[in-house]
Structure 1
Amino acid sequence: MTMTIKECTIEDLRELQSISVETFTETFKHHNSAEHLNAYLEKAYNLNKLEQELANPSSQFFFVYIYQEVAGYLKINTGDAQSEVMGDDSLEVERIYVKKKFQKHGLGKNLMNKAVEVAKEQKKEKIWLGVWEENENAIEFYKKKGFFQTGAHSFYMGDDEQVDLIMTKILY
């Protein structure tokens, strides 16, 4: 299987929206009402919002390809682009998603390795992320990658308040 990782640009906007909606829906549709899911998708993945995120110099998106197909993506944030105040020594993995048909092939590991590589290039001391407290597969994946729980925060799916665990990995 030929895998490549490429940084996204504004030319990738519609593809980014498509994979964002597809992977988020695959991951969470069975755990949320259609109303809450659709409200979140419209807010988080509308073209204007994604365009602003792509234009932010403190955020980066990366696609992972299998052959020529986008199989997943990563969004990382530093500085004031982070969704929580974590300081200039931190890099946030805000989104890491792989299409269901490509899961269990090491793509998530490769995307996480990309996040660690960028963090080290930028001399960050830690990486952190938020993960839904009921997403046991993701929590186990992050633990295997050296993350541990350091807190929690609210995450809203529509108007449904849920809890994300904050997990951190120390790099230095």
Structure 2
Amino acid sequence: METNEILVRQASMADWETIQRIGRQTFSETFAKDNADADMEEYLAESFSEEKLRAEFSNPDSLFYIAWQQDQPIGYLKVNTGNAQTEAQAPQAMEIERIYVLAAYHGKKVGQILYDKALEVAMARRSSYLWLGVWEENARAIRFYEKNGFVAFDKHIFKIGSDEQTDIMMKKTLL
């Protein structure tokens, strides 16, 4: 196996601590500079608590996938269908809730590999469309999703602690 090869495998409940570590680190790396410390601490404590992650893993409509380079977890994907979607959408829709990649691996196609896994899962499930929310000020992520065929269709509020921020909702029609 080539040492730089990135493999993606489905995560299980046993991986919750890996997801927690990657989630907290990538969210901090990406958003700490733009948010108050107290808001970040509250968001990280709630969103990546053991209880919340175990509940998410227990939901059959949520799936996690971890990107690995050798034995190092370097990013992850979380997708939701049915009632696990963070907002009501068509029953056949699939949400990409998170594509998180450690900052050290930005620019190495890890995000694209995780997105490709999301698309593969959506196609296998015959999802009618993929959708997601992305912070309106995250120009890099917006460009990434536009490059992959997503278009804006709405906006919603995303709370980090007590701070309400606007996410652009984007979707890509599949069927």
TM tier relative to shorter chain: over 0.9
Runs of 4+ in 1 over 3 A off after TM superposition: none
CA distance in 2, matches of 1:132, 1:84: 16
- Number of the residue aligned with 1:33: 36
- Number of the residue aligned with 2:6: 3
- Number of the residue aligned with 2:128: 125
- Number of the residue aligned with 1:84: 87
CA distance in 2, matches of 1:159, 1:58: 28
* Identical amino acids, percent of aligned pairs: 38
Amino acid at match of 2:41: N
- Number of the residue aligned with 1:149: 152
Q: What SS does the aligned partner of 2:143 have?
A: helix
Deviation at 1:145, TM superposition (A): 0.4
Deviation at 1:20, TM superposition (A): 0.7
- Number of the residue aligned with 1:110: 113
Deviation at 1:66, TM superposition (A): 1.1
- Number of the residue aligned with 1:23: 26
Deviation at 1:89, TM superposition (A): 1.5
CA RMSD in angstroms, aligned pairs only: 0.6
CA distance in 2, matches of 1:2, 1:125: 31
- Number of the residue aligned with 1:69: 72
Deviation at 1:67, TM superposition (A): 1.5
Deviation at 1:26, TM superposition (A): 0.5
CA distance in 2, matches of 1:123, 1:13: 27
1:98 equivalent to 2:76? Answer: no
CA distance in 2, matches of 1:101, 1:6: 20
- Residue by residue, what CA displacement relative to the aligned partner does 1:52-111 show, whole Å, maximum 9, x if unpaired? 001100000000011110010000000000001011120000010100001101110110
CA distance in 2, matches of 1:155, 1:130: 9
CA distance in 1, matches of 2:7, 2:58: 23
Amino acid at match of 1:91: M
- Residue by residue, what CA displacement relative to the aligned partner does 1:117-140 show, whole Å, maximum 9, x if unpaired? 000100101000000000000000
TM-score (norm: length of structure 2): 0.97
CA distance in 1, matches of 2:12, 2:78: 12
- Unaligned 5+ segments in structure 1 are none
Alignment: residue pair count? 172
Deviation at 1:114, TM superposition (A): 0.5
- Number of the residue aligned with 2:58: 55
Q: What SS does the aligned partner of 2:60 have?
A: coil
Deviation at 1:45, TM superposition (A): 0.5
CA distance in 2, matches of 1:50, 1:158: 18
CA distance in 1, matches of 2:160, 2:17: 22
